[in-house]
Structure 1
Amino acid sequence: MTDLLNQLVAFIGENPTLANAVVFLIAMGEALFIVGMFVPSTVVLVGAGTLVGLGKLDPWPILLWTTLGAIAGDAISYWVGHVYKDRIKSVWPFNRYRTLVERGEAYFRQHGGKSVFIGRFVPGVKAIVPGIAGMVGMPVGRFTFINVTSAIAWAIVHLGPGVIAGTAFSALGAISGRLATVLGVLLVLLFVAVMIARWLILIVLPLYAGSRLRTVEWLGRHENRVSRWFARMLDPAHPRSAGMIVSALLLIVTVPLFVALAAAISPDNGLSRADTAIRNLFQDLRTPVGDDIMTFITMLGDGVVIAAVAAVVIAYLFARKAWRRATGLMIAIAGAAVFVPLFKMLFQRERPIDIYTGADALSFPSGHATLTVVLFGIVAVLVAHDRSPLTKAGIFSLAVPLIGAVAFSRIYLGAHWMSDVVGGITFGTAMVAAFAFVFGSVHNEKIGRWSLAALTAATLSVVGGIHMARNFDQAREMYRPSMPVEILSADEWLSGGWQKLPTHRIELSGEQEEPLILQWSGDPQALAEALAQDGYRPAPGWSLVTFTGFLTGQTAAEDLPTLPRIQNGRGADLVLVRRDGDDTDGTQGGRWVLRLWPTRFEVMTQTGERLPLRVGSLIHERILRPLNELSAPRADRDLPQADENPLNDLPGIVLRMRRDGSTVALGGPAAMRPANPADPLPDQAPASTPGAEGAAQ
């Protein structure tokens, strides 16, 4: 993964013109009237700033083109408003967003000309205000001055965090590329989660105000109390209507999702294989510094910390006479504390590592993820209650990273499978949504929201700090990296142990792909040297030069880099390519690609030497050349014929037959001896279990 990210960053850095064009278009698109509501400018610009901080892009051109794009987008929006005036509310497609236009008008009337500057930084109105300025006839000169100055400030604000992050990652990369990769993945996931939360609160809900109004009118025609209550709660003018809708939607989504996850965690299915692959991926990225960081984070979700913070918050709510909310929070925390162990006992799923006893020794769902979501999610709901959409977005922008970091730490440390954490998040989110829906209409309990937020943060800091001071070393030892290694003797491997290894490559998604037809003991370079006489050579590495080969229709098949393929969460240790034998000029036909991946198995030879055992595949790729201008490898065969398989002719190779009739070649130093007479005949070999290694690991 680290190599792949490095190659991607290097490619972007070597193509600054492309990067300049992207930031210009994304900044312009973000400012276009109505259209900008759906353009993810923040994600792209923070990414561009990160590349600047990494030293891959020149900062001044990026800043210039981002600013010019923002200026152009606002100018186009101003022109649209100036041309259409009030008719814009009835012209397609703008008439579909009449509520947004009216919201922008109200914002402009409230803030006047300075709304053009301020609005650029406010999600939900930033793509509306410039058009409103044109509608009301704001002078061109004044608008242009505000447009240019606000665009400069906006570009700096959006690129700045990425520059800081990129500089930090550059420094971390000098220490450990794996640590930089892990922290980068964590920050990207948290960033995306925060953006989704803000997008939902500030953009999606206002878009459906018209539909909500029609629903309210329909409910209002019914005279029963339930219909009137729903009509009142869903009224767009009601300050709590948005929260009620979000709560209902979350309940509708999370409850079925949790049930689906619970039904899908049976052994040896796609989800279990995906869990194993993702665990292996993160285990290979672990570093001592990363372990310390993730242990620190995960301890914030320990039961003693959660219990202490919950007790303080509940006591505070009772002290403020917020009886219903205090009782609701107490029920939610107690319910999560009871149901999580019950679910674990029901599903009986083992953890990736053995670190607890009793019900806690089981895995699904993650207690850390569940209780963290319930506690801090409900606190965020209480603090955000009856606040403006912008304030709500800010509050949840603080809660989501804390919850996400604790959840991520459980996967990184190997304490839970990925699906355990996702299950905990969905179950906890359902409980938060139920709390918000039930208590969203309560408005007569004064809880002192900012006092509650400060008290929660202070308690978390104090109790968490004390807990870490006392138990950090013990926790770090408990979460130390632990990758199980299974040792097979050479006799055991050749006589049947080979069946413990997977029969097919396992993707990160858990899907089984091409067959694994080779098991190799020892140094993979020995295999490369043995196959060199058959024309196999190391695959070209990724670089700007090799990438341009895909853009040329005459590139030889063996000169094209191979696309990375993951086996059970691990990258290939060896990749060899050979063009087709009948491809005399190297520009037609295709190529064979052999890959070799590590496993958790080792073979012990008769001399006591332990040799790592790897598995490999051999697939054929056809080189497509559209219009003779491009070269595009496409796998068309995932298994060679017997006369095309060079593995069968290697010195000392041992062939074994699987139940489905396919053969697997066992090679390397541990196989280079006469077969044991007690070895089972090929047609007597017991059935192998696809993906057995994935289930075991």
Structure 2
Amino acid sequence: MTEYLNQIVTFLGDNPELAGIIVFLIAMGEALFIVGLFVPSTVVLVGAGALVGLGKLDPWSIFIWTTLGAIVGDAASYWVGCVYKDKLRGLWPLSRYPALMAQGEAFFRLHGGKSIFIGRFVPGVKSVVPGIAGMVGMNFWYFTFVNITSAIAWSIVHLGPGFLAGTVLSAIGEVSGRLAAVLGGLCVILFVIIMLGRWLIQIVMPLFPGTHIAVVGWFARRPDRVSQWVARTFDPVHPRSVGMLASVAVLLVTMPLFFWLISEVGPGESLVQADVAIRNLFDTLRTPIGDRILVPVTMLGDGFIIFLLTLVVAGYLFLRKAWRRATGFLISMTGAALFVPLMKGIVLRERPIDLSEGVHAYSFPSGHATLTTVLFGIIAVLVAHDRSAWVKAGVFTITAIYVLTMGFSRVYLGVHWTTDVIAGLLFGTAMVSVFAFVFGSIHNEKIGRGVLSGLVAVALTSIGAWHITRNLPQALVDYSPVAREETLALDAWMTNDWTLVSGRRIGLSGEFKEPLVIQYAGSLDALSKRLEADGWRRPPDWTVKSATGFVEGKTTPDDLPTLPRTHNGRYAALALMRDDPNGGVGGKRWVLRLWPTSYVVDANGNTLPLYAGGLLREEILHPLGEFSSTMIDLPAPALADNPVTALPGAVVRTRTDGTQTVLLPDLAPAIE
């Protein structure tokens, strides 16, 4: 079945003119009465979304055809129910699935007309609910309205994940623009945060009371005053005890993590290397369009904006005579504003770029992330106080999206290391937890949550729009990408300075990977031509068709694209491969990758980019005969297997750990 569905997806990519009809039939079949049980639409539609993200299919036509198919399928099922009524129960194949019919009827009785919308997303009942609606005589026009709106939402849900995956894949495979990877990655992060938030509030919290009662009972049995205070404060009878206990739990997690981060950002630590790798990755992904989106976002976290919003919120709370909450809010904001420069002066960590002066020239923690988290986190606590689980989930989800987007903008623009932002988020969350614990139980201060929400939204929009309109041109200049290259003299590089380049690949986690056994200064085209003459070739590009080779059981080494490994956050500038004659049953291949470094070589006034390369031998595996995968068979090749060794001008150097690195100056003159 998997092979069959993959063939459909491949066919869509190769025949875009027929894609609309195919997704229409798939979406319609998935919605047909009973038939939908046997039509696995998800794989095909997610694959179609990926093709849209890769630029292979037109997004609007695919979306429209998918939506129309879903509408027609449900309409046909409704018509079947209207015509046959209760006779359907005795007809084949429904007579074989009486439990399914009972389940669908129970679902319809529970949700009424909403079942058409909700049921479209529920496995099992989705194939019978429209037919049941026809059987019970549901109003046609009402059914049509719900059918159309639910089909639109269903199409977005099914095509969306594939579209995001396609955009990220296209960026990795250099098929599309870099901005897609940035926005796609941000969307994935936000999606995970939203799902975790809803899972915590709506699933975990309701399961908490049993443990809650046991813990409080243990404290209640102890005679000391502290235990008795804990028992009274967190008594389940107290309506706000669960929230207070959650605040304590969050505080006990965030503060230790914050201080652990401080210990891990010293020189030579793996997190520091990970920070550099992530910064380099975003350097390669930056685009003018991305800057115009994320520079305004980061400007909304400027001190000027935070200060004015703090005055607005504090002033409103005082006007409502919420004295304690207003005072607590000002203490929290003031404490965070003082803590950030204090920590910057203690840790003394340099920013990735020169942006500020004085203590703010240091980067740990991020002031934008810290103050934005405290400000909007406390506002969320005030607005969500004593509301239902659904309202709390919505309020904290919106807040998390805003705060995380702010932090993401700081990393994307290269003004903070990733750990700076994480530290700011952790400390800010801890401050919000303290506020929620101390002031969350106050019930005699009416603050007008709807008015507060509207006031904050209006103030942020108006002040932010004025600030961005006035200062965006200068901000784009201030946040413009900065070149980070060091120049090495040719002779110095060939003798000693080659050791400045890392001897191992550095992953995004900051960990050292396989050895880098090649350093090349010069034109990649010249090197590629020379190696291709010796039997090396470029691997297949990342396309839908080549990617499906990983889910087929007989793919040869020639047909599998190479995995997109990064070194210090940069993707390979050149990748070549060659068969290993001793490949065995599955086949083996050599893969050579060259990554750009932060160095250039000055060769008598001619500036040459310096690349570092690795050479791996990969074995092609076919687990269970259904998939194809690669396994590194030899990460440290012998010198004789290094193809650069035989090229003119190559010099072999040995590191202290015994690893041999081949230095190769520019081949362009020799090629000419």
TM range (shorter): 0.7 to 0.9
Alignment-derived partner of residue 619 in structure 2: 622
Equivalent pair of 1:20/1:62 in contact (CA under 8 Å): no
- Cα offset for 1:296? 0.5
Equivalent pair of 1:620/1:637 in contact (CA under 8 Å): yes
Equivalent pair of 2:271/2:509 in contact (CA under 8 Å): yes
Alignment-derived partner of residue 364 in structure 1: 364
1:240 to 1:561, Cα distance in 2 relative to 1, 3 A: same
Where in structure 2 are the equivalents of 1:554-565 lying within 5 Å? 554-565=554-565
- Cα offset for 1:180? 3.1
What's the CA shift string for 1:84-119, capped at 9, x where partnerless?
A: xxxxxxxxxxxxxxxxxxxxxxxx9xxx95645558
Structure 2 counterpart of 1:179, one-letter code: L
> Given the alignment of the two structures, is residue 497 of structure 1 paired with residue 497 of structure 2, yes or no?
yes
1:267 to 1:20, Cα distance in 2 relative to 1, 3 A: farther
> Given the alignment of the two structures, is residue 598 of structure 1 paired with residue 596 of structure 2, yes or no?
yes
Mapped to 1, the partners of 2:302 and 2:418 lie a distance apart of: 18
- Cα offset for 1:300? 0.5
Alignment-derived partner of residue 322 in structure 2: 322
Q: 2:640 aligns with which of 632, 643, 650?
A: 643
Equivalent pair of 1:233/1:441 in contact (CA under 8 Å): no
Where in structure 2 are the equivalents of 1:155-194 lying within 5 Å? 155-160=151-156, 177-194=177-194
Structure 2 counterpart of 1:599, one-letter code: T
Please give the secondary structure, in 1, of the residue aligned with 2:599: strand
1:255 to 1:228, Cα distance in 2 relative to 1, 3 A: same
Alignment-derived partner of residue 400 in structure 1: 400
Q: Which runs of 5+ in 2 are unaligned?
A: 1-5, 32-41, 79-93
Structure 1 counterpart of 2:338, one-letter code: V
- Cα offset for 1:202? 2.1
Mapped to 2, the partners of 1:278 and 1:357 lie a distance apart of: 25
Structure 2 counterpart of 1:156, one-letter code: I
Mapped to 2, the partners of 1:348 and 1:477 lie a distance apart of: 26
- More deviation in 50-59 or 659-668? 50-59
Structure 2 counterpart of 1:611, one-letter code: L
Equivalent pair of 2:116/2:143 in contact (CA under 8 Å): no
Mapped to 2, the partners of 1:579 and 1:292 lie a distance apart of: 45
- Cα offset for 1:471? 2.4
1:397 to 1:510, Cα distance in 2 relative to 1, 3 A: same
What's the CA shift string for 1:527-584, capped at 9, x where partnerless?
A: 222223432111122334434544555544333221111111111111111111345x
Structure 2 counterpart of 1:304, one-letter code: F
Where in structure 2 are the equivalents of 1:66-145 lying within 5 Å? 79=102, 113=109, 115-117=111-113
Alignment-derived partner of residue 509 in structure 1: 509
Please give the secondary structure, in 2, of the residue aligned with 1:481: coil
Mapped to 1, the partners of 2:536 and 2:47 lie a distance apart of: 43
- Cα offset for 1:12? 11
What's the CA shift string for 1:176-228, capped at 9, x where partnerless?
A: 82223322322332233233222222222123344335555666667888667
Alignment-derived partner of residue 36 in structure 1: none
1:239 to 1:390, Cα distance in 2 relative to 1, 3 A: farther
Please give the secondary structure, in 1, of the residue aligned with 2:570: coil
- More deviation in 303-312 or 472-481? 472-481
TM-score by length of 1: 0.76
1:152 to 1:489, Cα distance in 2 relative to 1, 3 A: same
Q: 1:661 aligns with which of 639, 650, 658?
A: 658
- Cα offset for 1:416? 0.2
1:12 to 1:118, Cα distance in 2 relative to 1, 3 A: farther
> Given the alignment of the two structures, is residue 482 of structure 1 paired with residue 482 of structure 2, yes or no?
yes
- Cα offset for 1:492? 1.8
- Cα offset for 1:58? 5.9
Equivalent pair of 1:549/1:560 in contact (CA under 8 Å): yes
Mapped to 1, the partners of 2:240 and 2:26 lie a distance apart of: 42
Structure 2 counterpart of 1:502, one-letter code: S
Equivalent pair of 1:49/1:163 in contact (CA under 8 Å): no
Please give the secondary structure, in 1, of the residue aligned with 2:571: coil
Alignment-derived partner of residue 383 in structure 2: 383
1:342 to 1:226, Cα distance in 2 relative to 1, 3 A: same
What's the CA shift string for 1:256-297, capped at 9, x where partnerless?
A: 211221111112222111111111111111112211221111
Equivalent pair of 1:50/1:162 in contact (CA under 8 Å): no
Mapped to 1, the partners of 2:226 and 2:143 lie a distance apart of: 49
Where in structure 2 are the equivalents of 1:31-430 lying within 5 Å? 54=59, 57=62, 59-61=64-66, 79=102, 113=109, 115-117=111-113, 153-160=149-156, 177-215=177-215, 234=234, 239-430=239-430
- Cα offset for 1:588? 4.6
- Cα offset for 1:483? 2.6
Mapped to 2, the partners of 1:598 and 1:670 lie a distance apart of: 17
Mapped to 1, the partners of 2:137 and 2:294 lie a distance apart of: 49
- Cα offset for 1:407? 0.7
Mapped to 1, the partners of 2:298 and 2:11 lie a distance apart of: 35
Please give the secondary structure, in 2, of the residue aligned with 1:537: coil
What's the CA shift string for 1:634-658, capped at 9, x where partnerless?
A: 1021111123222221111111121
- Cα offset for 1:235? 5.9
Alignment-derived partner of residue 31 in structure 1: none
- Cα offset for 1:428? 0.3
Equivalent pair of 1:274/1:509 in contact (CA under 8 Å): yes
Where in structure 2 are the equivalents of 1:433-444 lying within 5 Å? 433-444=433-444
Please give the secondary structure, in 1, of the residue aligned with 2:483: coil
Mapped to 2, the partners of 1:121 and 1:49 lie a distance apart of: 27
Mapped to 1, the partners of 2:46 and 2:263 lie a distance apart of: 37
Structure 1 counterpart of 2:647, one-letter code: L
What's the CA shift string for 1:300-345, capped at 9, x where partnerless?
A: 0011110110111112111211111111111111111111111111
1:526 to 1:22, Cα distance in 2 relative to 1, 3 A: farther
Alignment-derived partner of residue 690 in structure 1: none
Q: Which runs of 5+ in 1 are unaligned?
A: 1-6, 27-39, 84-107, 674-697
Equivalent pair of 1:50/1:165 in contact (CA under 8 Å): no
Structure 2 counterpart of 1:661, one-letter code: G
Equivalent pair of 2:13/2:51 in contact (CA under 8 Å): no
- Cα offset for 1:359? 1.1
- Cα offset for 1:78? 8.3
Equivalent pair of 2:515/2:659 in contact (CA under 8 Å): no
Please give the secondary structure, in 1, of the residue aligned with 2:575: strand
Mapped to 2, the partners of 1:242 and 1:253 lie a distance apart of: 17
1:116 to 1:253, Cα distance in 2 relative to 1, 3 A: farther
1:222 to 1:655, Cα distance in 2 relative to 1, 3 A: closer
Mapped to 1, the partners of 2:111 and 2:532 lie a distance apart of: 69
Structure 1 counterpart of 2:602, one-letter code: M
Mapped to 2, the partners of 1:379 and 1:630 lie a distance apart of: 51
Mapped to 2, the partners of 1:233 and 1:484 lie a distance apart of: 55
Equivalent pair of 2:9/2:47 in contact (CA under 8 Å): no
Equivalent pair of 1:657/1:664 in contact (CA under 8 Å): yes
Structure 1 counterpart of 2:483, one-letter code: M
Mapped to 1, the partners of 2:337 and 2:100 lie a distance apart of: 52
Structure 1 counterpart of 2:59, one-letter code: L
1:212 to 1:411, Cα distance in 2 relative to 1, 3 A: same
Alignment-derived partner of residue 456 in structure 2: 456
Alignment-derived partner of residue 683 in structure 1: none
Alignment-derived partner of residue 574 in structure 1: 574
Equivalent pair of 2:48/2:162 in contact (CA under 8 Å): no
Structure 2 counterpart of 1:662, one-letter code: T
What's the CA shift string for 1:11-70, capped at 9, x where partnerless?
A: 6964989999999999xxxxxxxxxxxxx99x98997898697369565457757988x9
Mapped to 2, the partners of 1:658 and 1:324 lie a distance apart of: 64
- More deviation in 277-286 or 181-190? 181-190
- Cα offset for 1:417? 0.5
Mapped to 2, the partners of 1:515 and 1:244 lie a distance apart of: 51
- More deviation in 404-413 or 215-224? 215-224
